[in-house]
């Protein structure tokens, strides 16, 4: 399954944050499902609505990502 890309710089890795400011690296699949980059990481407690691109200053929702 392919990952969706940042609409601005076209990379596939993002970060999400929790209430205390910690972040975790994620990707988003074609079904708009947010998945942690490392399978042992848990997304519990993280805000999956707002994605922050690791390559540029873009932030937004998974629905705004573009297909490969």
CA distance readout (Å), 64 to 6, 31, 40, 41:
8, 13, 27, 24
pLDDT at 66: 96
Cα-Cα end-to-end distance for the chain: 11
1 has pLDDT over 80? no
What confidence tens digit (pLDDT) does each residue in 5-62 have?
A: 999 999 999 999 999 999 999 999 999 999 999 999 999 999 999 999 999 999 999 9
């Amino acid at each position: 399954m392919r990952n969706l890309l940042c609409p601005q710089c076209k990379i596939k890795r993002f970060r999400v944050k929790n209430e205390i400011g910690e972040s975790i690296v994620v990707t988003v699949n074609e079904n708009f499902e947010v998945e942690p980059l490392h399978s042992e990481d848990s997304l519990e407690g993280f805000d999956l609505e707002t994605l922050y691109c690791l390559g540029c200053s873009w932030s937004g929702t998974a629905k705004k990502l573009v297909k490969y």
